[in-house]
A and B are shown apart, each in its own frame.
Chain A
């Protein structure tokens, strides 16, 4: 038996033991299901939710908001980031507002956005776009400016045009920063969608949690938390995977990965 396989076996055994302990503790102490549900209750809620098709519908709603909002936020952050990093005039007049908004928790805007854009998906997409926009924007700006002086001098000494300096030096050099911004942004985007749905929505996992709360369906809420963890984890892994492929040359990234960042 190799040690990797044994590690997996032990992890699964420990998980089973924890779940069993939880199950017996709840049943033995007769804790009511509306306070702490047993693992079996959560699993039942999960199965029922998918069998009736309710979960699938709301998962699709939330994922649509996340991806639409994230794409819009990403595109806007990249375009504005380029403008700010490359144009002094834009920087002078726009950057102060960016800094101001940066320090404000964007989810606090969700209630206003629901008033402006209604209970439908639009208000969620706007919230998600806003919340993903800032980390990516700031990282894009910092990344494009990070080109070190020696490298710029080298390019200049070769007679490179400004466009060549941008394309061959600044843009590839900014990629690690942009990817790091995306890694933060993608996690924030799920948060943004859920919070916006809490405020008021017609569909989505956040709305589902809210409505389950009013009926004290704690097992149902636990089952949605599991779904949210799976979604969050797979988005994080996907971005991490693409980032590693794109930035294979970035040794600091390897160092981070080796330290068990993911």
Chain B
């Protein structure tokens, strides 16, 4: 019932003919110059299909966040190209939703007003989006909290508000930068379940950055493993586990095999201290 309701509201994003949501070709990003130069991303090429859930896993400093910033139009590559749905990224775009590591809420706005922030910025009309905002607040499990202020919410609840906000302007894709990294382990598992459910309902393209191997395998259709210095994608791993996944899948042999492979790659590259 709820699923149906939400599905009708979240119309399928109009895909382009190729079905490619994100394309990156031979992309590099360097900071500084000379001896001090840091290669954050080195010759990265990848492609994400429309509606696909891709997780990028790697240790701190492997350039994951830089990659996400480039996709969000907040940073530019030193070399190479990146497209979103067939058009080159030339700056921030309105058809993406970003979820950051911290909830990044505005403390002077209520939960509802925080969710409506993109609506205000992009002048989409509050009255038109009010139903949608309330449906999203319900979807992330915060019914009845619309008029509360962020300081009254727990960390997990705040991050849910951030998720609802990222979805309000019907973005074609979601970019998530370690969104649950600051949460405690139990809340985090719970949020993973929630995110999977929401993704199954909305089928947005998701790029999910994390340093947790199990989180990446649990959530993603495909896991990209990155190593630092220079930031490089070492391997792409299709995760062939049936949806809807339960937390118990983490105890399965297949899950353990995926985790071992990823860990093996990271260890071999000296990415783990």
Residues of A within 8 A of B (CB): 150-151, 153-160, 164, 168-169, 172, 175, 248-251
**Interface, chain B (partner A; CB < 8 A):** 69, 72-74, 92-94, 96, 98, 100-102, 104, 106-108, 117-118, 120-122, 149-151, 169
Contacts of A155 in B (CB 8 A): 121
CB distance from B165 to the nearest CB of A (A): 9
Interchain Cβ contacts within 8 Å, total number: 56
Q: How far is the CA of A138 from the CA of B118 in the complex (A)?
A: 31
Contacts of B107 on A, CB cut-off 8 Å?
249-251
- Kindly list chain B residues whose C-beta atoms are within 8 Å of the C-beta of A154: 98, 100, 104
Given A168-B117, A168-B121, A156:B92 Cβ within 8 A: yes
Residue in B closest to A246 when the chains form the complex, CB atoms: B108
CA distance A155 to B93 in the complex (A): 11
| Complex CA distance for A30 and B63, rounded to whole angstroms | 83
Question: A249 near B118 (CB under 8 angstroms)?
Answer: no
With a cutoff of 8 Å between Cβ atoms, the chain A residues found around residue B108 in the complex are 172, 175, 249-250
On chain B, the residues within 8 Å of A157 by CB distance are 72-74, 92, 96, 98
Partner of B100, one of A150, A158, A164, A172: A150
Instruction: Kindly provide the distance from the CB of A150 to the nearest chain B CB, expressed in whole angstroms.
Output: 5
Which one of A157, A164, A249 has the greatest number of beta carbons of chain B within 10 Å?
Answer: A157
* Cβ-closest chain A residue relative to B150: A249
Question: Provided the pairs A157-B73, A158-B117, A158-B121 are in contact, do residues A251 and B94 lie with their beta carbons within 8 angstroms?
Answer: no
- Contact between A151 and B104, CB atoms less than 8 A apart: yes
Query: A248–B110 Cα gap in the complex (Å)?
Result: 12
Write the nearest CB–CB distance from A172 to chain B, whole angstroms.
5
A172 touches B106 (CB 8 A): yes
Q: Are A160 and B121 in contact (CB under 8 A)?
A: yes
Question: How far, in angstroms, from A249 to B69 measured CA to CA in the complex?
Answer: 30
Q: What are the 10 closest A-B residue pairs judged by CB atoms, nearest first?
A: A251-B151, A249-B108, A158-B121, A157-B98, A150-B104, A160-B121, A172-B108, A249-B107, A157-B72, A159-B92
Q: 13 A-B pairs, CB-CB below 8 angstroms?
A: A150-B102, A153-B69, A153-B72, A156-B73, A157-B72, A158-B94, A158-B117, A158-B121, A159-B92, A168-B106, A172-B108, A249-B150, A251-B107
Is the pair B94, A249 in contact by a Cβ cutoff of 8 Å?
A: no
Instruction: Give B3 Cβ to nearest chain A Cβ, in Å.
Output: 28
Name the distance in Å between A246's Cβ and chain B's nearest Cβ: 9
A251 to B149 CA separation, bound complex (whole angstroms): 10
- Which of B74, B102, B150 interacts with A156 by CB under 8 Å? B74
Given A155-B121, A159-B121, list of 6 further CB < 8 A pairs?
A151-B104, A153-B74, A158-B122, A168-B117, A168-B120, A175-B108
